[in-house]
Structures are given as structure tokens and as C-alpha cells.
Homo-oligomer: A and B are copies of this chain.
Amino acid sequence: MRHLLLAAVAAASLALPVQAQEPAPVPSPGEIAAAAKADEWIAIAPSDLLVMELAPDAKGKARRVVIQLMPAPFSQGWIGNIRKLAAAHWWDGTSVNRVQDNYVAQWGDATEKKPLPKGLAVVPESEYMWPYRPAMFTKIWTYGAPQDAVMPIYPSPPATSPVTNYTDPYARAFGFFGGFPFAATIKQSREGGNYKREPESVWPIHCYGAVGVGRNMSPDTGSGAELYVVIGHAPRHLDQNIAVVGRVLGGIEYLSSLPRGTGALGFYEEAAERVPVKAIRLAIDLPADERPKFEYLSTESASFLRYADARANRRDPFFIKPAAGADICNIPVPVRAVTAK
């Protein structure tokens, strides 16, 4: 695979003249995102970025993980707690205590005795899902091309060719909102002579990089003090069973490449194995020159639709057979770090 992949990188970075006889190669999903217009990228507010500084690695290299918190109305009870925990510097001196292969890396207070700040919310399980609000999604994704979120069932939506399969074994449909993927139920209603269908309930989902809230047995839903990130195949069975509060935008490799814990469920057996968390802060509470800046590709943009289609139908040169389908976790919303000019 090495030759190919290096060749593809070279082709993208050198502006080689294209010969008249040879059509330009179809761009890869990454190339489509990279070519998106500036106004298709959305800056993430520093008040929605959670910055975790792990202790430096064995070579003294800093390890910073940047997390985007989920937009309202989703998971805001837990996210309010997370903001309070960060403001109280509660995580400083805690640690990454669990790394289970193909599952999660988890951090918090290993002693389970550190007092929590006062005033944290107790969030009910009902907040694992949320009623759909009109215009929350611009498109819904099921079988076939992404469709308007409110659509008549009769007549059928126009057929596309080739039909792309975006069905989800875990939900009737999915959509994107604020840079995050959500699953949805669909309700059918009657308007005049037509039946319409639109999303009814929506919930955030566990894809690679999703950040969730550890909890004890139901009806406990966790405070937000114990957090984990998905570092393996999407554990979608956790959807609606644990709160998803964000996703990692940068630095996930500092968690996903940690040694796996050898205790039950990947907990580290020795205290020395734990990776110290130096600090967790909202970016807005950092000095301006230390704030990370990230953007995501608007999921309402034309480039995102092209990107998603290319994720489901790879036509760039390496591929010989497009899949004609994709699962939602195989369409990660593109993000990019913005560095000072």
C-alpha cells in the first residue's frame, strides 16, 4: 500500500500539469474537504472546547487532547457539570485509569473519594434522547441520497443513480447537527392528501472519538466527572444508555495509543501505570495565545454532501469498486486545527 499512498500525497501537493487525454483523478474525501470554501468551515467557540493536558510522555513531549462539547439542546445537564468541574480545576491531579482495547480510554478520580464541587446537576435518563426540532437537520440520511428532513412519502423522493445505502442498523435514519452525528426515529404524518415523514426523536451516538459520561447502575447517569473516549469500533449499543457529551478533535492518539490496562475491563492494575491529568480547562479560560482553534466542515455545506458521497462511493484512484453505502461512523465530520498566521 505504501507506493500508492505516497504517490497520492505527491500528486496532491505538486501541481502537475494534467494531460489532455487523461481526466483529472476523482478527488478523495479528504481532498474534497480540503478544497471546501473558507465560508463552509465553522469556527468552534472557545467556550465549547475542553482542553486536557496530560503529563508529558517519556520523552518530555506535551500531550494535549482537545474536545468539542456538544451543542444545545443535547446533553446540556452533563455539559453544565463539566463546565463547573473544569472551572473548579477538579480534574487537575486525576488520571487516565482505564484503557480497554477496541473500546474506551477513561479518566477521572482513581480514588473515587475526591469530593465533587457543589451544585452539580443530577440529570435524568430522559435526556439521553431529545425531541426533534424543525430545521435541526437539513437532510436526513437513510436509503438513497440525503433527503430533505421533511419529505412527502407519496410521491416517492426522486430516485438517484446509483442509489447509496445509508441505512443504520441502530436507527431509522441519521442526520448531522452542529458538527455531530445523530440517530433518529421517524414519524409519519398526514398533510392534505400526502403523508410526510420527518425525524421525531434524536440522540447523539458513539462513533470513534465520541466522549461519554461514565456512570454506575441505572438510574444513575453519571455526573460528568468520569469521562471516556471511544478508541475502537463504534460501540453503538451504548447509545441512549450513556450520555455522549462531545468528541475529540485533536490529540486522540495520546489516549488511543496508551498501553492497555491488564485488569478487568482494561483498568490499570498499578497506580504507576495511570497517566496523570495535569489540567482540564475550557479554552476560553486559557490565555488567548494558548487557546487551540478548531473548525469543522459545515454539515449543511455543499462540500460536506460531496465529501459524504465520496466516503460512501470511493472513486479516487486507489479504489476499484465503490461500496455504494456507508455507516454514519464511517462519515466523520471533517475538522481542522487553525494555526496563527
Contacts and interface: CB of A to CB of B under 8 A. Distances in A.
Nearest to A129: B321
A102 B209 contact: yes
A151 to B, nearest CB: 20
A4 B222 CA distance: 11
A323 B236 contact: yes
A4 B234 contact: no
Contact of A165 (B170, B234, B240, B329): B170
Contacts of A317: 217
A2 interface: yes
A259 B255 CA distance: 10
Given A101-B252, A241-B320, A215 B327 contact: no
A125 interface: yes
A267 interface: yes
A335 B285 CA distance: 48
Contacts of A242: 1
Contact of A9 (B260, B265, B319, B329): B265
A329 B3 CA distance: 29
Contacts of A99: 257
Interface in A238-275: 239-242, 252-253, 256-260, 264-265, 267
A166 interface: yes
A71 interface: no
Nearest to A12: B264
Contacts of A208: 102, 232-233
Contacts of A181: none
B323 A226 contact: no
A320 B218 contact: yes
Interface of A: 1-7, 9, 97-99, 101-102, 106, 108, 112, 125, 128, 165-171, 207-209, 214-218, 222, 226, 228, 232-237, 239-242, 252-253, 256-260, 264-265, 267, 311-312, 314, 317-323, 325-327, 329-330
